[in-house]
Structure 1
Amino acid sequence: MPSPIETWYTDIPPITRIYITASCLTSLAVQLGFVHPLQLWLNYDRIIHGYQWWRLVTNFLYFGPLSIDFLFHMFFLARYSRMMEEGFFRNKPADYVWLLFFSASTLIICSTVLPFAYMPFLGSPLAFTMVYIWARRNPYVRLNFLGLVVFSAPHLPWVLLAFSLLLSGQLPMGDLLGIGVGHIYYFFEDIWPRDPASGGRRLLETPRIVRWLIDSNRPDDGIEIQNENHESDIEDEEGENHDDETRREEEQEVSVNDITSTNMATEASSSSPSSSSSSSG
């Protein structure tokens, strides 16, 4: 009989499971001394002149050394990434991969052109991007904090941002970066297609090459209906998911442990490579 942890792990949808597994293996490799955080962080000089292209990926995988904060961060990441993949991106793996690719690429660009937004590790902003998109797409879900403050899901990113500000005493740039990138995706994917000036065009529609690479490796489960009209698709999904999200409202409740551990993990992952390496040592 499988253990509860094994059951929980196998129930995670594939893309989220791959991301979490890669992140855990990366931190484990650092903990065992196989790699050093300085080999993983986003160093543009090493990427361009040293041809160390793996840094474009590994900076999203390292969330600090193995610790309680790391485990809580993985739980938080698994929670919202899983709800995204099982909700709006159910049976749409290519669309979810494209969301992650677009968000990661935009985070790297913003971190490059905005000096104040540079971070050596961008895993926390990427996770915050997913939280923002999930929150905006679930306007009817009610969340509570400490059983005292009740708010709707779209306010979740700002509650996390405010709590992080109270804990650290400084503006959390990683959270702001994640909110900004999340809003870019949400605007062009959910708001702009509804504007008459757009003509119904989706500027961030998943490229055919991504669909071919991802969907061609999936088992044929039958006829897949292409999403030609994104506006009607959004409305249908909101209607279908509203009841489910309402019934699972207790599962969506934000506890103080979620918020505290998330911000502690964010501070750890956004620290300098030198501090990360000393922690892992």
Structure 2
Amino acid sequence: MPVGLEAWFTQIPPVTRTWLALSVLTSVAVVIRLHTVPSSYLWSLILLQPWRVFTTFFYFGTISLDFVFHLFFFMRYSRMLEESSFANRKADYFWLLFLSSLMLLGLSPLFNLPFLSSPLAYVPIYFWSRRHPSTPISLFGLLTITAPYLPFALVAFSWVLSGTWRAAASDLIGCAVGHVGWFIRDVWTREMIGGPTIFSEAPEPLKRLFGDL
């Protein structure tokens, strides 16, 4: 790995860095035929091939413009979120993504989603946008919007890239899961409960594992 690229990679926070590396490696594995792309219903495959419960969250498709689009924006906003709202709280950020992954697995039978990487990528994008509601965002230098509109603008662009509404629908499901995660942490626990719960903060064993305690 070139020195410049290696320095850039090591500067990415650990959870985002691991997610990025696994996503790239999964797509490369498909290209060189070490891993196959599922052609049928996700849960039926998981029963026969249990590892797909993990790889479904890391496969963004074959290396293409849509692959680069999703990878760039998830990495950008996941990194920003991990460096700001979850600074020095690796376990809590992992816990947010883990619970979101469980929700997406539960929703996948209802919407027949074979891949859950793209919906999961929208969780940190949506979460960041709600944590920074007044931040202006320039979209490709053509349009300036405020952060809360960012996820939906990206969904619309993804629709244009993929040419099918199903891709946009899966991304919208990711936004919905991101909204649940944001609501639990910023509304429910603060305004209704008045303190953290198991749904908003990682359990202590996980914090010890990540070195947060």
**Length-normalised TM-score, structure 1:** 0.67
Query: What SS does structure 2 have at the residue aligned with 1:178?
Result: helix
* Aligned counterpart in structure 1 of residue 136 of structure 2, from 134, 137, 142: 142
Question: Residue 125 and residue 6 in structure 1: after superposition, are their counterparts in 2 closer, same or farther (change >3 A)?
Answer: same
- TM-aligned CA deviation for residue 76 of structure 1: 1.9
Question: Residue 42 and residue 131 in structure 1: after superposition, are their counterparts in 2 closer, same or farther (change >3 A)?
Answer: farther
**Distance between the aligned counterparts of 1:91 and 1:151, measured in 2?**
30
Q: How does 1:5-154 map to 2 (within 5 A)?
A: 5-38=5-38, 43-48=42-47, 50=48, 52-112=49-109, 114=110, 117-145=111-139, 147-154=141-148
Aligned to 1:170: 165
The answer for unaligned runs of 5 or more in structure 2 is none
Counterpart amino acid of residue 73 in structure 2: F
Aligned to 1:179: 175
Q: Over residues 63-122 of structure 1, what are the superposed CA-to-partner deviations in whole Å (9 max), with x where a residue is unaligned? A: 11223442343222211111111111111010011011011111111112x2xx221111
Query: What SS does structure 2 have at the residue aligned with 1:38?
Result: coil
TM-align CA RMSD: 2.3
Q: Over residues 169-213 of structure 1, what are the superposed CA-to-partner deviations in whole Å (9 max), with x where a residue is unaligned? A: 636211210111001011111011232x42435342212232132
Query: What SS does structure 2 have at the residue aligned with 1:139?
Result: coil
**Distance between the aligned counterparts of 1:165 and 1:158, measured in 2?**
10
Count of aligned positions:
209
Question: Residue 32 and residue 146 in structure 1: after superposition, are their counterparts in 2 closer, same or farther (change >3 A)?
Answer: closer
- Contact 2:26/2:59, CA 8 A, preserved across alignment: yes
**Distance between the aligned counterparts of 1:28 and 1:147, measured in 2?**
31
**Length-normalised TM-score, structure 2:** 0.87
**Distance between the aligned counterparts of 2:144 and 2:10, measured in 1?**
33
- TM-aligned CA deviation for residue 59 of structure 1: 0.4
Which is higher, the Rg of structure 1 or of structure 2? 1
- Contact 2:101/2:120, CA 8 A, preserved across alignment: yes
- Contact 2:133/2:148, CA 8 A, preserved across alignment: yes
Query: What SS does structure 2 have at the residue aligned with 1:89?
Result: coil
Question: Residue 74 and residue 199 in structure 1: after superposition, are their counterparts in 2 closer, same or farther (change >3 A)?
Answer: closer
Question: Residue 42 and residue 205 in structure 1: after superposition, are their counterparts in 2 closer, same or farther (change >3 A)?
Answer: farther
Bigger relative contact order, structure 1 or 2 (CA pairs below 8 A, ≥6 apart): 1
The answer for unaligned runs of 5 or more in structure 1 is 219-223, 225-281
**Distance between the aligned counterparts of 2:99 and 2:74, measured in 1?**
18
Counterpart amino acid of residue 180 in structure 2: I
**Distance between the aligned counterparts of 2:54 and 2:46, measured in 1?**
11
Aligned residues: percent identity?
Answer: 43
1:204 has 2:200 as partner:
yes
